[in-house]
Amino acid sequence: MNLTELEQTLVLIKPDALKNSLTGYVLSQLSEFHTALRFAGAKIVQVSQMLAEEHYAEHRGKGFYPSLIEYIRGNVHYPNEPDKRRVVAFVYQGPGAIQKIRDIAGPTNPHNARDNKPGCIRALGTIVPIKDEAGNFLGDRMDNLIHASANLGDAEREIKLWFRPVDIPPLMRLYATVKCQEHYYLKNNQLLTSYEQGSLLLVAPGDIVWQSDLEALQLLHKGLPSPCSIQTVAAKYLINESTEND
Ligand code: ATP
Ligand code: MG
């Protein structure tokens, strides 16, 4: 099987879809019958601040960024029910997976989606004006129900951010993995290789990890430049671990 056959994409069912009971609808739109794609991974994630910031790193500094982070964390749709704040994350695999799911999701802006692609998933989304405390209009928040990776590079970054290798069956893993030989802990945004009070375990000897994560941890621990930050690696290995670090 060639790499195009194995193409993978990350799909997130966002908190507005969960709140409106659209999970089943979205999954049926993406079903193997309609798309010829298969699940390679699935998980329910309570989205930490660190994970939200890593996922939407490309939007840091934009006007809508703070509300986007609140939205993906579920704080907007479940302000008083923290236990319901979650996202459902999937890896879909198969020929043309990225473009197929982008097409079914539709345009980013739900109003455009309704106008230009009626019937797509995001046509069921909404736009909410963001205002400051004085009521001044700051911009829009686009509640568009679903995230889908935009291209091969984003798909790799995002799948490695949301999924550990062991969340994906061995024969469905697309990216290189290695067996970890060391402990790595996080404490106050610093990497440690031995336990200190208050540190959080990221990976331990024997864990199967993405090779790129282990290479990054080794470089970062030596204080050398790395293709990604401590937070990028830590965000995933702490998924659903603890809320203390939020
Ligand atoms: P996603 O990454 O969620 O699949 P996308 O790739 O279609 O969506 P991006 O440009 O990556 O769009 O934006 C990520 C998310 O940020 C969007 O889904 C939307 O919720 C929000 N967003 C993007 N652009 C704007 C904007 N101009 N104003 C408000 N929110 C925006
Ligand atoms: Mg995007």
- Work out the widest C-alpha separation in the chain, in whole angstroms: 58
Mutation choice for ligand 1 from 13, 108, 126, CB with most ligand atoms inside 8 A:
108
Using one digit for the tens of pLDDT, what is the confidence trace for 194-221?
Answer: 999 999 999 999 999 999 999 999 999 9
pLDDT above 50 for 245: no
CA dist., res. 152 & res. 1, Å (int): 18
The helix/strand count (H/E) of the chain reads as: 10, 11
Mean pLDDT computed over 106-122: 97
Q: Which residues form the catalytic set?
A: 147
pLDDT above 70 for 184: yes
Q: Using pLDDT thresholds of 50, 70 and 90, give the confidence band for residue 86.
A: very high
Domains of the chain with bracketed CATH? 3-172 (3.30.70.141), 177-237 (no CATH)
Tokens of 10: 């990350």
Mean pLDDT computed over 117-134: 94
Mean pLDDT computed over 35-42: 97
Which helix (H) or strand (E) segment is 116 a member of? helix 110-116
Q: What average pLDDT does the chain have?
A: 94
Q: Counting ligands in written order, which one lies closest to the CA of residue 105?
A: 1
Could you tell me which residue, 91 or 227, shows the higher pLDDT?
Answer: 91
In this predicted structure, what is the pLDDT of residue 79?
Answer: 96
Mean pLDDT computed over 215-232: 94
Could you tell me which residue, 243 or 220, shows the higher pLDDT?
Answer: 220
Q: Using pLDDT thresholds of 50, 70 and 90, give the confidence band for residue 1.
A: low
Please name the residue whose Cα sits nearest to atom 31 of ligand 1: 142
Q: Using pLDDT thresholds of 50, 70 and 90, give the confidence band for residue 5.
A: confident
Residue 197: Cβ within 10 Å count: 5
Show the ligand 1 pocket: residues with CB < 6 angstroms.
Answer: 59, 64, 68, 108, 139-142, 144, 147-148, 150
Mean pLDDT computed over 170-175: 96
pLDDT above 70 for 246: no
Using one digit for the tens of pLDDT, what is the confidence trace for 44-69?
Answer: 999 999 999 999 999 999 989 999 99
> Over 52-101, what HEC string results?
HHHHCHHHCCCCCHHHHHHHHCCCCCCCCCHHHCCEEEEEEECCCHHHHH
pTM of the model: 0.94
In this predicted structure, what is the pLDDT of residue 2?
Answer: 61
Output the CA 168–ligand 1 centroid distance in Å. 27
